[in-house]
Amino acid sequence: MGSPCELKLSGDPALCQQVAADCQHEAMRFETQYSRFTTNSITAKINAAAGESVVPIDVECRAILEYAGVCWTLSDGLFDITSGVLRRVWTKDRTQLPTSAELRPILALIDWRKVEISDAGVRLGVSGMEIDLGGVVKEYAADALAQRIRLAGIESGVVNLGGDIFCVGKNPEGMPWRIGIKDPDGSGAIAQVGIANAGLATSGGYERYIDIEGERFSHLLNPATGMPVKSLASVSVIAEQSVVAGSIATIALLKGQAAGLRWLRALECPFLAIDASGKFCTRSGQEGDAGPGSDLDQKFTRLTSIKPN
């Protein structure tokens, strides 16, 4: 999935080995089915048929696409899985900002409303359009693997797909799993939080970016302008599902710092947002306190003692 993946299971060793192998196989299925980097994935087939034929899809793919549509609505169009075509302009070797003339033909290909979903399948309404499910599928896969772990009878484990995390039950000591939050301005953890039976996702522009004329630009792009979003350094969200946590975190970043924080504070889930200066922002507005969890201490704690120099 283009990122480090990790699985931790606690229980009978033989069962854990069996479930780990099953989860690895399932993770590879998601990669094969939805990657845009291969020619035989459903994503590649949909993109290749843009502006032409309808591509049949299964129930799972339709559910993922429809969820992407919900995210588009909740974000006022900022979360748009058709915006991946902007990578044609924002290449790694860019040395100057793109001009409006460069962006105009690409922006014409971005519009979730032109993704036609029906019982027959899915069709992209304009030739050259693409979908990129990378912002949804990895989190969805984390939830799917967690479900397989539970159904197998394992009550303690962690699924970590490139930072999209689901914690099954509590750790072997009977405590919430302690999860570190990466320092957006360093290599270590800047905070930690205890989680059990919940998902955690972090979104930020600190790992994927482009430097142009001494200025760093995030990989998160506004689908209306084609330009990088200037926002919070990172947002971490806890929710009942990893896919929900991930989409909330991404939408908050896409909205920009002020609007993103207002939106986050209107929701029920705990979050930790870190601005460019390293300041913590939470639902309560108090540094280091994300507000009460359900039956857990879902509070983000600053780790000043281990922050890298």
Check pLDDT > 80 for residue 296: no
Mark whether 201 and 117 lie in a shared domain.
Answer: no
Residues 122 and 201 both lie in one domain: no
* CA separation for the pair 69, 122 (Å, rounded): 13
- CATH code for the domain of 297: 3.10.520.10
Is 143 inside any structural domain? Answer: no
Q: Tell me the residue type at 77.
A: G
Q: Round the average pLDDT of the chain to a whole number and report it.
A: 89
What angle (nearest 5°) sits at the alpha carbon of residue 102, between those of residues 99 and 108?
A: 125
Quick check: is 12 in a domain? Answer: no
How confident is residue 1, by pLDDT bands cut at 50, 70 and 90? confident
Q: In terms of domains, do 184 and 251 share one?
A: yes
Q: What is the pLDDT of residues 38-57, one digit of tens each?
A: 899 999 999 999 999 999 99
Does an H or E element contain 175, and which? none
Is residue 287 over pLDDT 60?
no
Structure tokens at 59: 């129930």
- Of 101, 116, 132, the residue at which a domain comes to its end is 132
**SS3 state of residue 126:** coil
The identity of residue 6, as a single letter, is: E
CA 180 to chain centroid, in Å, comes to 17
Mean pLDDT of 288-298: 40
One domain for residues 118 and 193:
no
- List, in sequence order, the alpha helices (H) in the chain: 13-34, 42-48, 59-74, 100-107, 134-151, 242-254, 257-265
Q: What is the CATH number of the domain that holds 49?
A: 1.10.3980.10
Q: Identify whether residues 298 and 209 lie together within a single domain.
A: yes
Position 271 pLDDT exceeds 50: yes
Domain boundary among 132, 155, 190: 132
Least trusted range by pLDDT, from 125-139, 212-226, 242-256: 212-226
126 vs 187, which has greater pLDDT?
126
Mean pLDDT, residues 225-252 taken together: 94
What is the domain count for the chain? 2
Q: Is residue 109 part of a domain?
A: yes
Structure confidence at residue 137 (pLDDT): 95
Does residue 293 surpass a pLDDT of 50?
Answer: no
The domain in which residue 209 lies consists of 176-306
Q: Is residue 152 part of a domain?
A: no
pLDDT in tens, 68-113: 999 999 999 999 999 999 999 998 888 889 999 999 999 999 999 9
Is residue 80 situated within a structural domain?
yes
Q: Any idea of the CA torsion for 26, 120, 247, 207, to the nearest 10 degrees?
A: 60
- Is the pLDDT at 289 greater than 50? The verdict is no
Backbone angles phi, psi at 86, to 5 degrees: -65, -15
CA distance to 24, 158, 167, 170, per residue, from 8 (Å):
12, 5, 9, 12
Q: Phi, psi at residue 153, to the nearest 5°?
A: 100, 5
Distance CA 182, CA 151 (A): 31
96 lies in a domain?
yes
Q: What is the pLDDT of residue 205?
A: 73
Question: Does residue 77 sit in the same domain as residue 198?
Answer: no
Query: CA–CA separation, 292 vs 303, rounded Å?
Result: 19
Structural domain ending residue among the three candidates 109, 132, 155: 132
Do both 189 and 278 map to the same domain?
yes
User: Which residues, 6+ apart, have CB-to-CB distance to 21 below 8 Å?
Assistant: none
> In sequence order, what are the beta bridge partners of 237?
201, 271
Q: Looking at the domain assignment, is residue 29 inside a domain?
A: no
Segment (H or E) for 302: strand 301-302
Identity of residue 284: S
DSSP H or E segment with residue 52 = none
